Amino acid sequence: MFDPLNPRNPPDDARKHAPATERNRGPILEVLRRVLPPQGLVLEVASGTGQHAVAFAQALPGLIWQPSDPDPDLRASTRAWAVSVGVPNLRDPLDLNAAAADWPIDRADAVVCINMIHIAPWTAALGLFAGAARLLPAGAPLLLYGPFRRDGGHTAPSNAEFDASLKARNPAWGVRDLGEVGRAATGFTLSEVVEMPANNLTVLLRRR
Ligand SMILES: C[S@@+](CC[C@H](N)C(=O)[O-])C[C@H]1O[C@@H](n2cnc3c(N)ncnc32)[C@H](O)[C@@H]1O
């Protein structure tokens, strides 16, 4: 995700660069504009570098964007991006582990989680569904973005290769099956699946 030799970063700059965020933020933003409420608080789980948080907070000024990540270096990166850009509706990132029973936030109007549930144990996905269910009012959206299997099979050879590489890094990781996600997200209705570039999906769940 982060190239320490990246010449864009001077030594005292905590900003990390995830090039994929620059490719996928436009298509994701199109979906966010359509399904997020015009106002309210959006919790982003697993914000990573913070590049999405900065871009989405800038593009959606009616919303308050709350980033979070369990990794302190990534929270520092999010802070550094926020300072460099200056986004008034972007909150300081929270230390939030999706798998934890307690989250450091008790309400939100939407939850967004990009590229996390396949790069974490399944318990993180289960914790995400439980935590989002605690926070969200009826009808509110939980958005997931990433690669998914459908009906037990991969949607593209590149996703099968990616899945194998994830499992080689950590056997608890792997591309999740959309049907299993829908069944595990108790308290939510699977409302929409949007096909995204590079064989990814945005999955819209709504709190019952
Ligand atoms: C591939 S990165 C994606 C980051 C960012 N959303 C993006 O699209 O660039 C995966 C992220 O998941 C976070 N993560 C891993 N396990 C987590 C957990 N249990 N709870 C919350 N975040 C987690 C990592 O710290 C990392 O920031």
Is residue 5 situated within a structural domain?
A: no
28: left (phi over 0), alpha (psi -120 to 50) or beta: alpha
Is residue 2 situated within a structural domain?
A: no
24: left (phi over 0), alpha (psi -120 to 50) or beta: alpha
CA of 21 to the centre of ligand 1 (A): 13
Q: Tell me the whole-structure pTM to 2 decimals.
A: 0.95
Does the beta carbon of 44 sit less than 6 angstroms from any atom of ligand 1? no
Is residue 1 situated within a structural domain?
A: no
CA of 60 to the centre of ligand 1 (A): 22
Is residue 176 situated within a structural domain?
A: yes
CATH number, domain at 178? Answer: 3.40.50.150
Determine the average pLDDT of the residues in 91-95.
98
pLDDT digits (tens, 9 = 90+) for 122-172: 999 999 999 999 999 999 999 999 999 999 899 999 999 999 999 999 999
Question: What does the mean pLDDT of the chain come to?
Answer: 95
Is residue 77 situated within a structural domain?
A: yes
Residues of the domain holding 187: 19-207
pLDDT digits (tens, 9 = 90+) for 102-119: 999 999 999 999 999 999
Is residue 143 situated within a structural domain?
A: yes
Q: Which residues pair with 176 in a beta bridge?
A: 148
Domain tally for the chain?
A: 1
Is residue 185 situated within a structural domain?
A: yes
pLDDT digits (tens, 9 = 90+) for 60-69: 999 999 999 9
Taking CA atoms only, the protein residue closest to ligand 1 atom 23 is: 46
Q: Which of 69, 102, 105, 196 to mutate to test the pocket of ligand 1 (most atoms within 8 A of CB)?
A: 69
CA of 8 to the centre of ligand 1 (A): 22
CA of 139 to the centre of ligand 1 (A): 25
Is residue 172 situated within a structural domain?
A: yes
